[in-house]
Structure 1
Amino acid sequence: MSQHNPHRRDSLKTLAALGAAGTLGGWQGLARAQAPLTVGVIYVGPRDDYGYNQAHAQAAAEVKKMAGIKVVEEENVPETAAVQKTMTGMIKQDGAKLLFPTSFGYFDPHILALAPKNPDVRFSHCGGMWSEGMPKNAGSFFGYIDECQFLNGVIAGHMSKSGKIAFVAAKPIPQVLRNINAFTMGARSVKPGITCSVIFTGDWSMAVKEAEATNSLADQGCDVFTMHVDGPKVIVETAAKRGKMVCGYHASQAKLAPNAYLTGAEWNWLTAYKTIIEAAQTGKPHPNFLRGGLKEGYVKMSAYGAMVTDAAKKQADDTKAKMVAGSFDIFKGPLKDNKGKEVIAAGKVFKQTDIELEKMNYLVEGVNGSF
């Protein structure tokens, strides 16, 4: 069940009307002060999870500082009809005109069900696959964080002594598979024979299974870990206790394990939030499909830990520079999956914008695992 809290929403105080000082701000400023844009942000877990939800909460905290914006939030909302109730409450009770329902399972069927019923409200979902024919007041945004996971892999490849690295994942959806593959390919660009073992826990937040998976992979000899779960805290701390190294995900987990944290793949959601909010404030068409990577400022890397070697930093930094310049492609042929089947033919190159990458359904050569 959703953990509703009567004091669940943090909002900015109502902006003071300019009143008699209208000459200072003009009628346009007065209108903005009287009618701020109410933005709703919905999280599937707690906002302080050191992970997916925290990355969005960090962006929401910055949005609260923007002029003419009021923010309402709710955390711990399941990917069920509960999110429809939350969205409806924000619209009817709070007057929200723009919603950021952030979790993967919120999009279909929940946003797609509510958007047609609320044509004057904009729905911006993180990670969904908006396509033509869907409501125009709905949309999706996401970042090419596989670029950062590839760089995580480069660092892991340099730092691994066993030649075995590990990935703890929630569900084998395309975005997760893309991250596993990029991490593995980054490591294999350093050491072609390195292998990545993956365990799927089955859901976005399952602390017990995440700990069990981490210990199991450590028992198998893996010495560098990364992940794709909502809150990486358990994996980071468990791996560190086992004397292993970690590349983080979503947000920085460096302070949880300063002696084990190598670097990490982080979101910078404020970039997308600002683009979407500006469109709403100015009456521009709702952005239906937004994507960006390192170059666009949608994703970023954690600072390197003290133990990362100069050689590792140099290769990662050089590769990152090529990514930003648009001269480096992660997914190109010839490429086989982990069953030996060719999935990208020789000479074929996928750009980050190619929709095929958002439908990925395979694990690459070098990954030990199945789904």
Structure 2
Amino acid sequence: MSKVRICALVALAIGAATPTVAQEVFKVEGAPKVAIVLFGPKNDGGWSQAFEEARPSLEKVMGATIPVVDKVPEDAASITPPVERFIQRGHNVIIGTAFGYSDTFKKLSEKHPKVAFLNASGITNGPNLESFYGRTYQSQYLCGMVAGAVSKSGKLGFVAANPLPVVNWTINAYELGAKKMNPNATVTVVFTGAWNNPVKERAAAAALIDQGADVIGQHVDTPTPQIVAQERGVYGTGHHRDLSEFAPKATQCSSIWTWAKFLGPELEAIKAGNWKPQPYGAFPGIKEGGTDVACCGSAVSAEAKEKIMAARQAIIDGDPIFAGPLKDRDGKERLAAGAKIDDAGLWKMDWFVEGVVAQQ
């Protein structure tokens, strides 16, 4: 995701913080038939596979097979043909999975006003179009608690793509979670500059371990940091899916997408004819089904797991991750005592909390 894309996402989220558009019921024409368009390979081990793994649950909701086409690039010339084919075949609920689908989905939704469109990580919305993303800072906070619990040194490493708000909030939450278990914990971050670059991810993870990190977290698309952690005999926490599949000895927690939990009720509403697309898109957390954790590995004690699961329940019950008093790493007050960050503040997060050391 480029900086330009993130800026657009920020602008959309700022508008979402003070919505003025009322939700209107949208009904598809005829019986709902769902189809999915995946950005990457459906077995990529990460983002796209998380949607593929949600598909069987969604098929149970719909009582029918849901066709999928994968490896569809983020350009109109690639997106439009498969979507149009699905619509021609009678599919009137189209689920997309990429930021770069945003503009094309908007145009298609206007061309096909009787078809429902949903798009993960998109920034466009309309009467029959809803974009959605998950509150990954919630699940990364819990993985940070795991990291703080299993670390012996208190030195944690984190391999990330770019210092952009959707990444920064995961890093900050990770550090706050780690501090919950070890007040002296620090998180050193290396940015690779790419969402999917196993070579750079390997180098970054190895460098962090060489500097003393004994737990490696991540916000990149491949399991490489977890694999390196296992090779080097340290622990790790994953992102997108349960990455213990790739590094069972190392991975003690993963921030995972739970799209079936979110999309299931959306499809139920479409079936019932009372779907109300969010005018500024949907931003589900653990409670609504955007994100959650696969936890915990064998290195996590029963006592620590109890604390982590209690924190998870507190999040579901409404406890915020970012609450004042809270200072950034330069000592500047970001949240006063009793204050909570709003969604606009999250999407503009260009700062790091105390304890985060960022390296390029």
| TM-score normalized by the length of structure 2 | 0.83
1:186 to 1:77, Cα distance in 2 relative to 1, 3 A = same
SS in 1 for 2:268: helix
Match in the other structure for 1:171: 162
Deviation string 1:242-290 (CA, Å, 9 cap, x unpaired) is 1120112221122322211212222211122112212322322442233
Match in the other structure for 2:212: 221
Q: For residues 340 and 357 of structure 1, what CA distance do their matches in structure 2 show?
A: 19
1:345 deviation in Å? 2.5
Asked if the contact 2:99/2:122 (under 8 Å) is kept, the reply is yes
Deviation string 1:204-249 (CA, Å, 9 cap, x unpaired) is 2222222222122222221111212233x22211221111201122
Q: For residues 228 and 87 of structure 1, what CA distance do their matches in structure 2 show?
A: 30
Q: State whether structure 2 residue 91 is matched by structure 1 residue 96.
A: yes
Deviation string 1:169-222 (CA, Å, 9 cap, x unpaired) is 223332222111111110122223321122222232222222222122222221
Q: For residues 182 and 286 of structure 2, what CA distance do their matches in structure 1 show?
A: 24
Match in the other structure for 1:192: 183
* 303-312 or 50-59, which deviates more: 303-312
SS in 2 for 1:291: coil
What is the aligned-residue RMSD (CA, Å)? 2.4
1:159 deviation in Å? 1.1
Match in the other structure for 2:35: 40
Q: For residues 37 and 102 of structure 1, what CA distance do their matches in structure 2 show?
A: 19
1:348 deviation in Å? 1.0
Q: 1:313 aligns with which of 305, 310, 325?
A: 305
1:86 deviation in Å? 4.7
Match in the other structure for 2:117: 123
1:37 to 1:148, Cα distance in 2 relative to 1, 3 A = same
Q: 2:143 aligns with which of 141, 146, 152?
A: 152
The count of residues paired between Structure 1 and Structure 2 equals 329
Match in the other structure for 2:59: 64
SS in 2 for 1:64: helix
Deviation string 1:8-43 (CA, Å, 9 cap, x unpaired) is xxxxxxxxxxxxxxxxxxxxxxxxxxx753322222
Asked if the contact 1:36/1:69 (under 8 Å) is kept, the reply is no
Q: For residues 230 and 94 of structure 1, what CA distance do their matches in structure 2 show?
A: 33
Q: For residues 286 and 321 of structure 1, what CA distance do their matches in structure 2 show?
A: 28
Q: For residues 198 and 307 of structure 1, what CA distance do their matches in structure 2 show?
A: 23
| TM-score normalized by the length of structure 1 | 0.80
Q: Which has the higher contact order (CA 8 A, sep 6+)?
A: 2
Q: For residues 82 and 161 of structure 1, what CA distance do their matches in structure 2 show?
A: 52
Q: For residues 143 and 81 of structure 2, what CA distance do their matches in structure 1 show?
A: 36
Asked if the contact 1:214/1:238 (under 8 Å) is kept, the reply is yes
Q: State whether structure 2 residue 201 is matched by structure 1 residue 210.
A: yes
Asked if the contact 1:40/1:90 (under 8 Å) is kept, the reply is no
Q: For residues 242 and 128 of structure 1, what CA distance do their matches in structure 2 show?
A: 37
Q: For residues 141 and 173 of structure 2, what CA distance do their matches in structure 1 show?
A: 5
Match in the other structure for 1:356: 345
Deviation string 1:314-340 (CA, Å, 9 cap, x unpaired) is 3212212222222x2210122222333
SS in 1 for 2:199: helix
Match in the other structure for 1:135: 126
Q: For residues 221 and 104 of structure 2, what CA distance do their matches in structure 1 show?
A: 20
% identical aligned pairs:
36
Q: For residues 342 and 370 of structure 1, what CA distance do their matches in structure 2 show?
A: 22
Deviation string 1:151-183 (CA, Å, 9 cap, x unpaired) is 111111111122211222223332222111111
Q: Which runs of 5+ in 1 are unaligned?
A: 1-34
Match in the other structure for 1:26: none
Q: Which runs of 5+ in 2 are unaligned?
A: 1-29
Q: State whether structure 2 residue 289 is matched by structure 1 residue 294.
A: no
Match in the other structure for 1:252: 242
Match in the other structure for 1:114: 108
Paired AA for residue 132 in structure 2: F
1:102 deviation in Å? 1.2
1:365 deviation in Å? 2.0
Match in the other structure for 2:315: 323
Q: For residues 224 and 85 of structure 2, what CA distance do their matches in structure 1 show?
A: 32
1:87 deviation in Å? 5.0
Q: 2:47 aligns with which of 44, 52, 66?
A: 52
1:82 to 1:309, Cα distance in 2 relative to 1, 3 A = farther
Deviation string 1:92-134 (CA, Å, 9 cap, x unpaired) is 5433322221123332x3323332222222221223345xxx4
Q: For residues 240 and 113 of structure 1, what CA distance do their matches in structure 2 show?
A: 46
1:91 deviation in Å? 4.1
The structure number with the bigger radius of gyration is 1
SS in 1 for 2:66: strand
1:344 deviation in Å? 2.0
Paired AA for residue 363 in structure 1: F
